[in-house]
Amino acid sequence: MSVVVVTGSAGLIGSESVAYFADRGHEIVGIDNDFRSRFFGPDASTAWNRRSLEERYPRQYTHVAADIRDEAAVGEIFERYGRRVRLVIHTAAQPSHDWAASDPQTDFTVNANGTLTMLEAVRKHAPSAVFIFTSTNKVYGDAPNELPLIEQETRWEIDPAHPYWEGIDENLRIDQSKHSLFGASKVAADVLVQEYGRYFSMPTAVFRGGCLTGPNHSGTKLHGFLAYLLKCTVQGVPYQVLGYKGKQVRDNIHSHDLVAAFDRVFAGPKCGEVYNAGGTRFSNCSMLEAIALSERLAGRPLEWTYAEQNRIGDHIWYISDMAKFRAHYPGWKQEYDLDGLMREMYEKNAGRWIAEAAAERRAV
């Protein structure tokens, strides 16, 4: 049985990857030390998702609570499984550009040094394994804000005559812009993964994600805006919109659709490739549009306020162009549009969110 190693295995993309490849007969080794709860507090913990994976896949899933920066611990994992490792999906990260500014050293060592530790372990012990890295559209910094945008009633939109109307492709520059410190640390990791592919001829792929989301997202104030927004609506918790009149646009891709794209790369890998990955024109929304959809699903209004100051380096409008990926892997297609992914997120989590809110009220 081939081995798939997944870092951040209890997180959104990690847990989706575990389930996807376990269901297809692979042995899974998950590396996750629940640093998310240290970054964002106990409400953001992924422990519930880890327990779910261990219950669903008691024979196929092995969990290792290691830090990806720990060379000895990571090296021991890869030495143990060696060339049985056929696929590595590296999703573990410090994911918030707001949090990064509070502790740049931890942000950089987790995102950049942790990625280097993973790459070296794979190169030494499983060099033919496909290495997939979840990067971010923040590697482009705020360069997308230079595009010709038009204000509409509920969103900012790009000029229909512009070449990027279908979305932003991989040719947008990644330097000479304001990234946030998170964006800078992910640039370092992104380029490292490319370089290991090109320099060492390793089968590596970088996915520069837009908003990655799905029902397994432990949404929190500083990361995972759709999950957190819907959770606040369900629980009756106040929400704050930051800047751009609430008309900032994001494309949103369901975690299952993204992992299905990983599977295409696994089946036909290349060396050092880079792909933008997001909801594209198929699945996108502004903040105002997301609020309206959350309210319809929850059947109640969201209590929200507006602050004029936007997040540093934040995008006004971002939609991904996945034409390059589709050209390389024409069999892949998106299954979840915005309504579908939001509805699934609500149906899976609403009961748990309501119970959590009730427990908190009783504890007060």
Q: The domain that contains 276 carries what CATH number? A: 3.40.50.720
If pLDDT is split at 50, 70 and 90, which confidence band does 223 have?
Answer: low
Mean pLDDT across the chain, nearest whole number? 95
Range of the domain at 260: 3-363
- CB environment 62-78: b (16+ within 10 A), e (fewer): bbbebbbbeeebbeebb
How many structural domains are present in the chain? Answer: 1
What global pTM score does this model have? 0.94
Percentage with pLDDT > 70 across the chain: 98
pLDDT at residue 1 above 90? Answer: no
pLDDT at residue 222 above 70? Answer: no
Percentage with pLDDT > 90 across the chain: 86
DSSP state letter for 310: P
DSSP state letter for 111: I
Tell me what the mean pLDDT of segment 201-210 comes to: 97
Cα distance between residue 259 and residue 272, in whole Å: 18
Task: Please state which of the ranges 17-21, 25-29, 161-165, 354-358 shows the lowest mean pLDDT.
Answer: 354-358
Please report where in the chains the tokens 């109640």 appear, as a residue.
300
Residue 312: per-residue pLDDT? 84
pLDDT at residue 356 above 70? Answer: yes
pLDDT at residue 220 above 90? Answer: no
User: Helix (H, G, I), strand (E, B), or coil: what is residue 34?
Assistant: coil
Residue 143: per-residue pLDDT? 97
